[in-house]
Structure 1
Amino acid sequence: MVLLPLLTFALFVFALVDIIIRPGDQVRHLPKLAWVFIVILLPLIGSILWFAVGREYQQSSSHRSTLRMPAARNRSPYSAPSTEAPYGGPSSTEAQLAALEREIEAAERDLRIRRLEEELRHRNDAGEPA
């Protein structure tokens, strides 16, 4: 009689500890905080869901692939920012935002250069000294 609640509690505690210590890149489908709330609000179902769909399991050492440096890419500074990290997985939102901000700055700089060149051409056409 006492065994089932004890096992449920042990599963609950184990799931919470696993969620808290697991790196964020090994959590699937929801943020870690959402998983914590699910497991707290629904201890048995939440714990089962965490181990079934929320946790990313690591490959065993015999099947582990070696990390390789990514191939160098000849990319234009105006091309879309990469959504992949160097290891091939999705990069963080912060990295994507930083790449987007760099792209916007480069586009604004080029627009300013084009405007200045146009103004210089206009002055030269009007006969004004540069």
Structure 2
Amino acid sequence: MPMLFSFVVLIAMVFALVDIITRDTWLVKHLPKFAWVLLVIFIPFVGTILWFAIGREYPASVSRPRMSWGADAAPARPVPSDTRSTEQQLADLEREVEYERMRAELEALKRQDRSELSE
């Protein structure tokens, strides 16, 4: 049994060290990465628990969604990303503005024609 505990601590320590080393610096809390590595190496059991409990910043995208049983129980749909370049987006917006301007002018001409016919 003590051998199994030692093996589990060793595996957890390796996972913690790999996680510390590969994690971006801005996702590490309370101590620098080097200090966390030393803590996990010199105090494996406590250092590993502390790393996963307080030293690691969990991004918002990793958090698990809450279970909902109401009307909003439908899963959230991913938002499609726009793959057009900025220039393409601006050109599309300019075309849309021009279309709306021309449509407004056409409506004004139709109203003018109607008013002239009714007179």
The normalised TM-score by structure 1 is: 0.46
The normalised TM-score by structure 2 is: 0.50
Structure whose residues are more often helix by fraction? 2
